Amino acid sequence: MALIAAVMGGVSGYGTGALMPLVLVPIVGAEPVVPILAISAMMNNVSRSLAFRRYIDVRRGLIVFACAVPTCVLGSYGYTRLTSFGALLVIGTVLILTVPVRRLLFHQNFRIGDRTLAASAVAYGGLAGGTTGAGVMLLSLLMAVGLEGAAVIATDAFISIAIGCTKVAVFGLASAITPQVLALGLLMGLVAFPGAFLAKRFVEALPVRVHTAILDAMVMIGGATMIVSAFRI
């Protein structure tokens, strides 16, 4: 499942954080899932960055990194507290709406600027620190700022390495990383490492429009998943 999720994540930019909890929770319970995924995601995103390195938008990546890390620390510290009904509902709805709005604005040659990206990254950091599904928000932000295709996947991975390091550091200081958590995280990361290179072949063979449509679909699915989760709390 880790390898399959890595390939899906390499093509769509999102999916690992949504799929793997379904496998991990029956094995280890809910509490260690976020730390396990944080460890495995570091290795997964390193491989994705290597595979797509020539597509990385370093400037946009550094903007998001600088603004997201402080709130990521706060979100990681409170990761055992589940996201509330209202937050999930609002975030999920907004994410779904970003797809038609972004497409409409695209036809009018409108893009969000670096300042809006920076402000949105603050909210993303807090969500990324304490949940497993925040990747869909980053995906949406990068597309809204004008990135397409492999550039979205590459820049997402570049940013996620820093976010993953931050989360692992906070979890380590909070004694949330046990030997079992470390072992499972490293095992998943090692198994998933080749997934990005397999995904690269798919991405480079896809037309940009088709790949953008896949990314849009993943944003909407991720948003819908958050809304459904809100009603299950």
Half-sphere exposure of 222 (CA within 13 A, CB side): 31
Q: What is the residue-level pLDDT of the chain in tens, covering all 233 positions?
A: 788 878 877 776 666 666 677 677 778 876 687 788 888 888 888 988 888 899 999 999 999 999 999 998 888 777 645 545 665 676 667 667 767 866 775 666 667 888 999 999 998 898 787 666 677 778 888 888 988 888 988 999 899 898 888 888 888 887 778 898 899 989 988 888 888 888 888 877 878 777 777 777 877 777 787 678 777 75
Angle at CA 51, nearest 5°, toward 45 and 56?
75
CA gap 153, 157 in Å, rounded = 6
Question: If we measure between CA atoms, which residue out of 65, 29, 34 comes closest to residue 167?
Answer: 34
List strand residue ranges (DSSP E) for 30-125, in order.
Answer: none
Contact 56, 206 (CB under 8 A): no
